[in-house]
Structure formats: C-alpha cells, structure tokens
Amino acid sequence: MAKRVMNATSRKKMNMLGNSIVSDAVMRTESVLSNRPAKLLLGLLVWGCSSLCVLFAAEAAEGPLKLSPLLAEAEEQRIQGIERAMPSTVCVFVPGGGGGGSGVLISPDGYALTNFHVSSPAGNYMRCGLSDGNIYDAVIIGIDPVGDLALIRLLGRDDFPYAEIADSRKAKAGDWCMVIGNPFLLASNLQPTVTWGILSGVSRYQYPSGTLLEYADCLQTDASINPGNSGGPLYSADGRLLGIVGRASFEKRGRVNVGVGYAISINQAMNFLGYLHSGRIVDHATLGATVATDSEGGVRVSNILESSDAYRRGLRYSAEIIEIDGRVVHTANDVQNVLATLPSGWRVKIVYRNEGQTVHTLVRLRSVHGQDELLTKMAGAMPPPPPREVPKKGGDDEDGESTPGDHPGAKSGAGDVPAAVLAVYEERRGFANYFANQQKQNDFIGGLRTQFPRGAAGDSVAWSIKGKTPDGQEVFIYVSDQRLSMVVGETPIEAVTKMDLYDSVEGRSFAGALPALDAWRRMLAKGPKKFGETVYWGTMPLAGERPLRDCVVGSDGEFEIRWMTHPSSKLIECVEVFADRDEDPAELWVVRDSDDPANMPAGLEIRYGIDSVFQMKVDSWEALEEQKSAEDAGDASDKKRDAADKASSDDTTAKQNQSETQG
C-alpha cells in the first residue's frame, strides 16, 4: 500500500482547526477568568493540547500509532501482575446454592484465608473453585469473629498455587492495587473478576458491630468491591497479597458501589494465622486500660485495671504511651488500631513515659471477651450471609445485581458432607475444628520427643540435673514421680505437696523451676492426651521478639503450663507456670549454644515478669531409671540433711562462742 503523505493544504486546514479551538476556548472563559494572566495561562494550555492533537493526527496519517515504550512496559507489568495473582484466587460456594464469596490460597497444602461472614453460612464444609477450572472440597479450620477472618483448607492436592505475601505496613495511599474475586457469584465458569484501582487510604478504622467484625488498621481502596468479593484478595500492582477484602460502601439499596472499599491488612491476618491454625474460635487483645488523646497530641491512660499485666509493669493513670509492639502511637485511635490487630495472650513490647521516666517493658495482653461471652455473642450476632446466585428479574432489579440482604444463605451443612471432609473435621465447644488442633498437638509432642532429653510414651524416668550458678554455687535438681527437690549452695528446697509448688510460684522463688521441669518431664512421658486438658494455642512472640513461637497450653491441677517452641527447630525455649492468671508466671528459660536437638541445654534461668531470679550453667542432665532414681533421691536427701546439720552445727557453735564471751 502506498504511503500516505499529508500535503500542504491538509496541514494548513489542521492548523486553522487548532487555532479555532484555542480562540473558542479563550472566548468561552473570558466571563470566568477576568484577569489577564489566568486567561493567558488557560489559552496556552488549550493551545498545547490542541497542538498535541494535531501532531498525533499527523503521525496517524503517516503510519500506525506507536505506543511509548514506557507505557508498553507499564501495561505489560500490569498484565503480569494479574497473571501472577489470578491462580491463587478462590471462588467460595456454599453447598446447596446457599451463597458464596471469595478467598485466597496462602500455602501449597491448600490453606486459604476468607472472611468469617463468608464461611459462617457454610458451616464446616464448602466448595471452592480455582481459575484452572477445578473445584475442590474445603473444610473449615479456624475462625476469628472479632476480626472477620476465617481459615479454610482445600483438599485433594499438596501443590496448590498460592499468593506471595506482601508487607502491608509498607503500603501507601496512591499505590496501584487490584481486587480479584467472585462478585455477585459471577464466576460460574471459575474465572474470577479483576478490578483495578488505587489505595485510597491506609490505617483506616471501621467500627465493629458490638464487639464483632472490627476492621482496624485496614486498607481503603477505590477498586470496585461488590457483594461476593468478600474474603477475596487485595493485591499490589505486582500481584502480591496486601489484604483480605471485607467491606464496601454502597448506595441505592446496596446495589451501587461508591468507590470506598476496605480490606483487612495481611499483616493482621499473619498475626492471627497461628491462632487460626489451632482450629479455635479466637479472640482479640486489649491492654486492660483505656486511653485518650490529650491536648498536646499524646496518648494518656485514662483508666487501668489493677489486675492487668500493664499495671504490674508500672503503667498508671495519666502515663503517656509511646509505642506498642514496635509501632509509635500518637492518638487513642492509633492505640486501638494496633491492639485490634493483635491476638489475646500475646506479650508485646511497650514504651511509656510516667513522672518524667521513660520505661521499656513487656506486657501480656488480655482477651476482649471471656470464652463463653464470645461464643454467645457469635451465636447471637451472626453476620448477614453472602449473596446467592439468582436469575435476572425485571423492574427495579433488571440489571440482575444481587444484594446481601435479599438472598439468605443456606443453613450449615446443606447437602451431604463428603467423607474426605468428615475425616478431617471434629466438632468441639470453643473450636471451629478440633481435628486441626489435634494435629498441632501431635506435631508438638513429636518434636519434643526427638530433642534432648529424649523420651518415649510411657517412660517413667527421673531427671538429675547438676551445675553451677554464676557466682560458683553448686546446684542439684532432682525431678521424679516421687520427689521434687532442689539444692542451691547450702539452701535445700523440697516440694512435698502441690501446695509447696504453688507457694514457690506465688512467692516468686527460684524453686519455680521444679513445677516447670516436672511438667516438661511428664509431658514427654504421657503426651498431650494423658497430661491433662491440653490445647495448641497458636503462635506468639517470645518476650516480645519474633519469629512467632508455637505455644501449647496444658492444665495441671492448680497450674496452667505453657510450652513455647521455636517454629523451625521445634526446640523448647521457655516453659511458663501460671499459679494465677492475674499474677506473673514462673518462666523457665532454656539456654542453648546449639540448634542441634541432640545437644544438652547449656543453662537454665528462672524469670518472673521482667526480673531474672536464678541462673545456672548445666554441667550434666541425666534421665535415670527408677532404681537409680531412688539412689539419687537419697543423695539429694542426704545433701539436704547435711546442709541442715551443718547449719545447726554452725548455730550451736556460734551460741557457745557467744556464751563463752559473755562469761
């Protein structure tokens, strides 16, 4: 085809058209812009735009339009981001046609995050589709009704595509983002809908319904969010997971999105992930104090519970809170934004200023609810079900869009539950799925029995531990079914009854090591099922430090025992013994110089709160059979008796010397 060339006449006509556009624009704005500089500026802008139009027209006349390399690269990156994100997006359907929503896979073994208000109508079983066209059975794992999160597991594979996790704290207003999901359950062909937009805001707060469905420190976006997007992913432009979509603002009876949607930050979801893996119905944290923003822009304590750990750490009325869990807070809203993203029971770093002194300390966070209270509120305030797929209607709803309130979801358990789901589900009060908790308990005891001092189920052994304190005093600890004793230097301690052990913890004694070591020894021998009521609690910081440790909680008569293990090595790092939940526990810290599970611990330490009361270097740690145990018990008794006799002899000698002096 011959190349078309713009002749002089055509160019003249196009220039005349451009001049006409400029003249017309200036004349129309003279009534608005009376000052000369403004009129000149607008004229220049319009002339520039019209000139660009002329140039583009000239280029088009000479050949095909060429896209800028920068624009082409940006478009290619956007497409790549969508392609990276799409496979991990989940379309969630309630069996029996009772509604649905969205979700996102976060691990290759099928674990996926969604909203509590998406999973709740389905109960323990749902059907999930991926963009590859396959449908999978899914089982509920854990739920967070306060934060509107749920963890489900897709069954049938161990190589699912999964999302790359972003750091939502680094997200900024104005960042490009996308929402992928199943709005109005349109993804009947399992191809999810993609909407594009920006982050309109970060660290937003959306008030709860009572104390449930609280959205704290959440992300706001103008990417279109509609009923059915709930539970789905909010991705960054490069396809990394920023959050879990949950709320949007609507008008016209909830059918028109107004460009204001909210997503739970992925950082909050990751804080709760270990708790959700426990299969429990989990709760959020509170400081045990109320705060207010003062006139100078600081955060002041306005009230505080004397039973709270914050009070034990010295926080008082009118003290200024500066940081919580490493995040600086300036307002009361900042405090709630941080606390509402943390699970109950976490121990976090807090910085506050009181009476001119800046204090760095650790605080155990309380639960917002009691367990029974949470279960009652959850049952009485279930969120509205997700949308149901319905045929188009005429009249006011002829566009076919459904609203959450118009289509109630099916009741839990609609249809037959597959055998594969029943095999990995167990109902129990306080749990979404107790089977998931049992698996975590098995992981815990398996790791415990492969590290020093190794043990097997049914083993009845005693522990004999010897070493020295930093000042050179000899230490002997003996722990068996018959005897619990400890000698430090010339100070013997023997716990004859449970009350003796209780008093050692209440009195903040170094003898708090005895119930901690005994609980460790008996857990090795009995396992979680026979030790007492045992629950895998989730993951939490150890003394405010990450990575998050696995925590198992066991009831042992008057005591509550917590074992903290490293997530990678599975090594025991700390055993906590609570005599009273409103008092500091005895903390047995296990000091190691190697991650080799076969190696003996290098030392032991006892702490209460932030105070260390005892340290020892471990020279030997033996697991003894019963006969040898009895001999060592006798040695311990002899050592105790010798120490007592020596003390008595010294006292008698002193009295004799005093009598002779007086004579």
The string of DSSP letters for 423-488 reads TT----TTBS-HHHHHHHHHHHHHHHTTSSSP--TT---EEEEEEE-TTS-EEEEEE-SS-EEEEE
* Mean confidence (pLDDT) of the chain: 84
DSSP summary character for residue 270: H
Top-level class of domain 435-642: mainly beta
Tokens coding 71 = 């624009």
Task: Give the strand pairing for 285-286 and 233-236.
Answer: unpaired
The pLDDT of residue 397 is 39
Distance CA 330, CA 203 (A): 13
Q: Name the fold adopted by 81-277.
A: Thrombin, subunit H (2.40.10)
Beta bridge mates, 112 = 105, 152
Q: Are 595 and 571 in contact (CB under 8 A)?
A: yes
Cβ-proximal residues to 536 (8 Å cutoff; 6+ apart), any chain: 278, 279, 437, 440, 441, 444, 550, 551, 552
Task: Give the strand pairing for 125-129 and 111-114.
Answer: unpaired
Cβ-proximal residues to 10 (8 Å cutoff; 6+ apart), any chain: 61
Torsion of CA 598, 602, 606, 610, to 10 degrees: -100
Distance CA 573, CA 112 (A): 30
Tell me the one-letter amino acid at 400.
Answer: G
Q: Is 343 helix (H, G, I), strand (E, B) or coil?
A: strand
Which residues of the chain, if any, have pLDDT below 70? 1-63, 187, 250-257, 381-415, 626-663
**pTM score > 0.95 for this model?**
no
Q: Is 36 helix (H, G, I), strand (E, B) or coil?
A: helix
Q: How many CB atoms are located within 10 Å of the residue 203 CB? A: 19
The pLDDT of residue 61 is 52
Listed residue (259, 265, 272) closest to 246, CA to CA: 265
Q: Are 584 and 508 in contact (CB under 8 A)?
A: yes
Torsion of CA 617, 622, 563, 458, to 10 degrees: 180
Distance CA 144, CA 275 (A): 9
Instruction: Write down the number of H helices and E strands in the chain.
Output: 13, 32
Listed residue (595, 598, 590, 608) closest to 567, CA to CA: 595
The answer regarding whether domain 285-367 maps to CATH 2.30.42.10 reads yes
The pLDDT of residue 253 is 60
Cis peptide before 547 (omega within 30 of 0): yes
The pLDDT of residue 625 is 84
The pLDDT of residue 74 is 87
DSSP summary character for residue 213: S
The pLDDT of residue 392 is 46
Q: Are 604 and 589 in contact (CB under 8 A)?
A: yes
Q: Any idea which residue has 């959020």 for tokens? A: 284
